[in-house]
Structure 1
Amino acid sequence: MGARDAHDRRDRDRALGAGQATARGPLPARGQRRARLTYAGHPVPRRWRPHSRGSAVAQSGGPRDEGSAVVDFVLVGALVLLLVLGVVQLTISLHVRNTLIDSASEGARYGALAGRTPADGAQRTRDLVRGSLSDEYAGQVTAARVKRDGVELVEVRVTAPLPVVGLIGPTGRLTVSGHAIAEDSLP
């Protein structure tokens, strides 16, 4: 486009494309009726034409889809909310499980040290669970010396409730254990 192009020399007061023919011809003047819509020489039925508000009426002449977006949003939103709550429930349960396993293992290592008893390991486990979760999870902690494959171990066992978000979720108790070789039993 340059200075010699017809579009560059137009009046600046007119709208762009004013006076040019449209794809269906020029628009009728205000107050005049448009020509009937036809296809291959036949008039197009009213139900196939666009609705005056901009939404298309179904070809079968049935009801329009107005308002269906709200229903779709509610249904899909409820499913997404359930999915998110399930993921949160799983995340909290795994966090509690991993914390209890780590506390039981640390308590077993502490109770297996030379000069310590399994009861010291159980108390250490209770302290760790209370510090990271709550007193509710530290209620049932037991420790004992066990023998497996000829090796003496200190085993710390923790039984705690599963955390539940809301009224849904798994119920019951979670039992984890931690083991460590007792140092005073080594040659």
Structure 2
Amino acid sequence: MVDFVLVLLVLLPLVIGILQLALVLHVRNTLASAASEGARHAAVAGSSAYAGQVKTQGLIDGALSKDFDRTVVVRSALVGGAPGYEAVIEADVGILGLGVPGVHVRVAGHAVAEVGATP
């Protein structure tokens, strides 16, 4: 019984830390994918920054809980010297998703505007 408690004191924080890392990486990768897709959507000829922002928000809402406080901004930017769009997402990932303040995540996606698109 004593051995179980001693081992549990070491393993429990390790397992909780691994779960928190997995949650933060999942949220970061999901947001990075949504930011890239939103920037690409805005860069299509005939689209706009607002359309890219709506697309990005829709992708995030479909993949993550609404509990994550986040901001989504899609704006015109130079991408490698060419006109394009940048989508920036900032979110706070709580400790194990319980709502307790934890890690702040900021990701950005970029896309060069198609010919005929006006950034």
Query: By the TM > 0.5 criterion, same fold?
Result: yes
Name the one with the larger helix percent.
2
Is this contact kept in 2: 1:137–1:161, CA < 8 A? yes
Distance between the aligned counterparts of 2:110 and 2:67, measured in 1? 23
1:146 aligns with 2:89: no
Task: Give the structure 1 partner of residue 9 of structure 2.
Answer: 78
Task: Give the structure 1 partner of residue 104 of structure 2.
Answer: 173
In our comparison, the structure showing a higher alpha carbon Rg is 1
Q: Offset of 1:116 from its aligned partner?
A: 0.4
Is this contact kept in 2: 1:129–1:138, CA < 8 A? no
Q: Offset of 1:136 from its aligned partner?
A: 3.8
Provide the TM-score with structure 2 as the length reference: 0.86
Task: Give the structure 2 partner of residue 159 of structure 1.
Answer: 90
> Looking at both structures, which has the greater relative contact order when contacts are Cα pairs under 8 Å and sequence separation is at least 6?
2
Q: Which runs of 5+ in 1 are unaligned?
A: 1-69
Provide the TM-score with structure 1 as the length reference: 0.56
Partner residue of 2:41 out of 100, 107, 110: 110
Identity of counterpart residues, as a percentage? Answer: 41
Q: Offset of 1:166 from its aligned partner?
A: 7.4
Deviations 1:8-67 (A, max 9, x none): xxxxxxxxxxxxxxxxxxxxxxxxxxxxxxxxxxxxxxxxxxxxxxxxxxxxxxxxxxxx
User: Judging changes above 3 Å, is the alpha-carbon distance between structure 1 residues 172 and 93 closer, same or farther for their aligned structure 2 residues?
Assistant: closer
User: Judging changes above 3 Å, is the alpha-carbon distance between structure 1 residues 149 and 185 closer, same or farther for their aligned structure 2 residues?
Assistant: farther
Q: Offset of 1:173 from its aligned partner?
A: 1.9
Q: Which runs of 5+ in 2 are unaligned?
A: none
Distance between the aligned counterparts of 1:173 and 1:160, measured in 2? 6
Distance between the aligned counterparts of 1:131 and 1:166, measured in 2? 17
Aligned residues: 116
Name the one with the larger strand percent.
2
> Any idea what SS the aligned residue of 1:183 has?
coil
Task: Give the structure 1 partner of residue 50 of structure 2.
Answer: 119
